[in-house]
Amino acid sequence: MKILMDRLAEHYMRLHPEIAIYVEAGGTGSGVNALIEEQIDICSASRLLSSTETSKMAQKNQTVGYFTVIAKDALSIYVHPENSITDLTLKQIKQIFTGEIRNWNEIGGPDQEIIVYIRPPNSGTYFYFKEHLLEGEEYFAGAITVPTTSRIVQLVESHLAAIGYGGIAYGGNIIHTQVNGIHSTPDNVRFDLYPISRYLYLLTLKKPRGPVQNFIDWILSGDGQKIVEEIGYISILPSE
């Protein structure tokens, strides 16, 4: 999501040179903690708050936060372009990332041990994947934690036996597998046909006002949503 926020901030500051916007990476969890401590004005998030985060925010800030939906996204499963497996079921994805399936030949692929890459626990994607794909079960103990989605893409590009996950907006020399026989195309995501779709949010402690509100309003405008689509995410505006 940092790529999206970087681009949005860059364009907005061109329009409003009197405004300075600083974007830092770190994952949804880190962003929520920084917001609770009032170190930042806006937290970009790929998930809603956990019960623990909601309780902490309410106790410290007397609020449970204010969410604004800014885009729709989908999680892609990344594999190497020479991997013969280009379609996975939800069950197979769960079995791979929990370690039940350890070799690609168990699902008709090459005889190679699967290298599993995952995001760190402070990532909203990590949390969403565990909750929705693994159904709350633990990740495979042998999975390799990687700090950013961009780095996961690089590693999957480099290893035939690798698998990882991340947003559909990320490119590179990788294959975004089908899931249950469905491609993660914009229309399939927009109309909830692709089975791993989600929303992206901006979170503020209270209803945004002033410059913060102006920035969010611009993101929700046609110009802001055009950039959302250019990056590879799905606009929340009605399709024409």
Q: Collapsing DSSP states into helix, strand and coil, what is residue 67?
A: strand
Q: What's the pLDDT tens digit per position in 118-148?
A: 999 988 889 889 999 999 999 999 999 999 9
pTM, rounded to two decimals = 0.80
Do residues 78 and 183 both lie within one domain?
yes
Do residues 106 and 36 both lie within one domain?
no
**Cα–Cα distance measured from residue 175 to residue 152, given in angstroms and rounded to the nearest whole number:** 13
Do residues 84 and 175 both lie within one domain?
yes
150: buried, middle or exposed (CB in 10 Å: 19+, 13-18, 0-12)? middle
Query: Is the CB of residue 148 less than 8 Å from the CB of residue 3?
Result: no
Q: Collapsing DSSP states into helix, strand and coil, what is residue 79?
A: strand
Residue 11, C-beta contacts closer than 8 angstroms, at least 6 positions apart? 223, 224, 227
Do residues 184 and 222 both lie within one domain?
no
Residue 9, C-beta contacts closer than 8 angstroms, at least 6 positions apart? 21, 22, 23
Each residue's pLDDT, cut to its tens digit, for the chain (240 residues) gives 888 999 999 999 999 999 999 999 878 889 999 999 999 999 999 888 989 999 999 999 999 999 999 999 999 999 999 999 999 999 999 999 999 999 999 999 999 999 999 999 988 889 889 999 999 999 999 999 999 999 999 999 999 999 999 988 888 899 999 999 999 988 899 888 999 998 999 999 999 999 999 999 999 999 999 999 999 899 999 876
**Cα–Cα distance measured from residue 140 to residue 186, given in angstroms and rounded to the nearest whole number:** 30
- Domains: count for the chain: 2
Check which CATH number belongs to the domain holding 135 and give it: 3.40.190.10
Domain assignment of residue 224, given as a range: 2-72+198-231
DSSP notation for 22-61:
----S-HHHHHHHHHTTS-S-EEESSPPPHHHHHHHHHHH
